Chain A
Amino acid sequence: MKFTKKISQHKERFEKLPDKFLLKGGRIVDPAQGVDKETDLLIVDGTIEKIGSVDTANFDGEVQDIKGKLITPGWMDMHVHLREPGREDEETLETGSLSAANGGFTAVCCMPNTRPAIDSQEMIRYVSDRGEKFPVDIRPIAAVTKEREGKELSEMLELWEAGAVAFSDDGRVVASPEIMRRALEYSKMVGLPVIGYAADPVLVNGGQMNEGYVSTCLGLKGIPSVAEDMMVARDIMLAEYTGGHYHVAHITTARSVDLVRQAKSRGVRVTAEATPHHFTLTDEDVRSFDTNTKIAPPLRTEADRQAIIEGLADGTIDVITSDHSPHAWEEKAAEYIYAPFGIIGLETMMGLSFNQLYHKKILTLEQLIEKFAVNPFRVLGLTPPSVKTGELANLTLFDPTEEWTLKEKNILSRSKNTPFIGETFTGKPFAVINHKQRFISRL
């Protein structure tokens, strides 16, 4: 018996967009242009041909009536782990693209903690070349230090040249303030941010969850909030001193949010992101001992959760990211202290954000779309996609009223480690369009 090469292991596919495709009666929301209007949008050969009323009487293309639904520029999740190369059993660039498209994204930035790490031009090209096959734009983030060891700077100029959009040793802290200082200085030459995972490793010291009342009750070793606060404070000071751009990955503590707020008011080049799980769940949820509540940084207290929401509302936190972290079932099925940290998030990111931020009137529709479709690009110094005549149709279609329930069978990530199975959401990204292809959400 011989093996045959598999072309694709997935029955879920992106499909070619019809040559002429008319979205009839949608509401176009493009915060970067300040556009919010109800009209038709015609796509010809993958490009936006016309925005305005189109007569369907003699139209020979495909028409989709989307009255009451939104057309927004394609969304980006700038913090995901796609596990390729190294852990293709957990996720690949292909399954990660499907998961992203299923969740309404046309772009993701993948973190470099693969095996080997994305710390060379070759690795950047590997990711870019593999990603070219899929209509989700996969933008690689390169390691700050060689092999993410925190010792020597990676070849940042070459990495930028090859297509890196930011630098991060995510999953690990750049422990040395000297290396962090030099990284912030050196990356300034190409204008890319250094994304810092903020957790002092000495203070984390094997902790399993947020340190506080709940960790005391459960007897789980705590991760003190000050481990994050100290690192955010350090890196803000280094950014202030060097003039470099520091982006705080998944901020979780009230104190850190406040530090970023103060730094921004002083004009420090600092930006920040928060994840839906950190503004939805708290350490109280760990009482279930469900290993899908084991996340780094950990789920914090209700006061921290409220502070994140305030930070999102006042613009201290620029971006929402999922920190999509696929893990094999058998690893998450272990005892709490042995299970790995992290949950998947691409497919629940808008559902959770819409539930927590829009329906609860924290953010307007425009403000929320901004954190998905505009700010991630701006943080990285990229031009956000635009719903404009003559532009490539890079769109997310969103139904703000559709109610849906997350079912495990509808998750397209190769891993299913999420605490939100069975959760009901109002508001669903039902399709994405990019690079002359489309994907209809299976959620």
Chain B
Amino acid sequence: MQTQKRHLLGLDGMSGSQIQEFLDVAKHFREVLDRPIKRLPTLQGKTVVNLFYEPSTRTRISFELAEKRMSADIVNFSASTSSVKKGETLIDTVKNIEAMKIDMVVVRHSSPGAAHILSRVLDANIINAGDGGHEHPTQALLDMFTISQNFSSLKDLTVAIVGDIAHSRVAMSNIYGLKSMGARVLLCGPATLIPREIDKLGVEVYHNIDEVIPQVDVLNILRIQLERQSSGLFPSLREYHNYFGITRERLRRADRPILIMHPGPMNRGLEIASDVADSEHSVILEQVTNGVALRMAVLYLLAGGQSEIH
């Protein structure tokens, strides 16, 4: 089977079998990362542009490493100010770069839909590396890949996403992806950080974390942006930690081990206690390693690679 997709814009509308294809190919590249020589010639001669309109360290480095492991030529474009402030539209900026003959664009932007707009005007393959509060498909794919390493199947697993759902592209992509894979998805956070009508996506909304923990196989704990508190969405960091923070004491109430995930960067002592982050059930660093493998798989499949790798 060959993926027909030219772009990876989001997981909304992506079928379970398409997602499984990404995970299967990622498994192969994950093994490559444990070899002494980690470089493959697969994307030799291809040029990938990393277009980051928003500051990002780990996603950018993860993509860059994935591209290097695949022998692609790389151009990095980090715009500290938006295209609007420079007086050039995003479309013009990217068309200019495309005119220099490039093959793939990895784009991070604060506006939802930025990757979609580019996919309509460019011939290059577009990979969405996060568009505002909309989607972050490679993060969700690497999260699901990490879960799949620890369980026989994603189907019928119960996964809780905890924290600021309302501003989280990671949450949205995880919801779309996990639902397509047949998982049960619970959301937990303060009412002001749960967006309206999200239950229509087939998720269950909770506010009491202690009701959630006994039900779940996986906890995906989101970063709390400190500015959410100052903009009045919850009263204090202290209260957040006391009611929503994941602590060892809370986890003891579960009758089975729970896989602990966090897309980073973590606020230790706020959304996650240090001993939980460093516990034997935490796969937070494994997520980071898997991120490189998963992104290699995305580059490979979008460049026209076959899912049967010999």
- The interface of chain A, by Cβ under 8 A from chain B, is 211-213, 215-222, 289, 330, 333-338
Contact = CB atoms under 8 A, between A and B. Distances in A.
Contacts of A338: 82, 84, 111
A211 B166 CA distance: 12
A217 B84 contact: no
B112 A219 contact: yes
B197 interface: yes
Given A215-B195, A289-B116, A220 B134 contact: yes
Nearest to A216: B195
Contact of A213 (B82, B84, B90, B197): B197
B179 interface: no
Interface residues of B, number: 28
Interface centre among A219, A289, A338 (most CB of B within 10 A): A219
Contacts of B91: 333
A337 B110 contact: yes
B82, B113, B132, B198 — which one has the most chain A CB atoms within 10 A of its CB? B113
Contacts of A334: 83-84, 89-90
Contact of A220 (B12, B82, B89, B133): B133
Contacts of B109: 335
A95 B214 CA distance: 67
Interface string B150-175: 00000000000000000001001000
Contacts of B83: 334-335
Contacts of A222: 195-196
Given A219-B132, A219-B134, A220-B133, 16 more contacts: A213-B197, A213-B198, A213-B200, A216-B197, A217-B12, A218-B112, A218-B113, A220-B134, A221-B133, A222-B195, A330-B89, A333-B89, A335-B90, A335-B117, A336-B113, A338-B111
Secondary structure dominating the interface of A: loop
B131 interface: yes
A289 B112 contact: yes
B114 interface: yes
A216 B114 contact: no
Contacts of A335: 82-84, 90, 109, 111, 113-114, 117
A170 B200 CA distance: 35
A106 B116 CA distance: 41
B67 interface: no
Given A217-B12, A217-B172, A220-B134, A212 B112 contact: no
B89 A219 contact: no
Contacts of A337: 110-112, 132
Contacts of B110: 337
Nearest to A338: B84
A336 B89 contact: no
Contacts of A212: 196-197
A303 to B, nearest CB: 12
A336 B82 CA distance: 13
A300 to B, nearest CB: 13
10 contacts: A215-B196, A216-B198, A216-B201, A289-B113, A289-B117, A335-B83, A335-B84, A335-B113, A335-B114, A337-B110
Question: Most chain-A CB neighbours within 10 Å: which of B12, B112, B133, B135?
Answer: B112
Nearest to B166: A216
Nearest to A329: B89
A271 B113 CA distance: 38
B108 to A, nearest CB: 12
B112 A336 contact: yes
Contacts of A217: 12, 172, 201
A221 B135 CA distance: 14
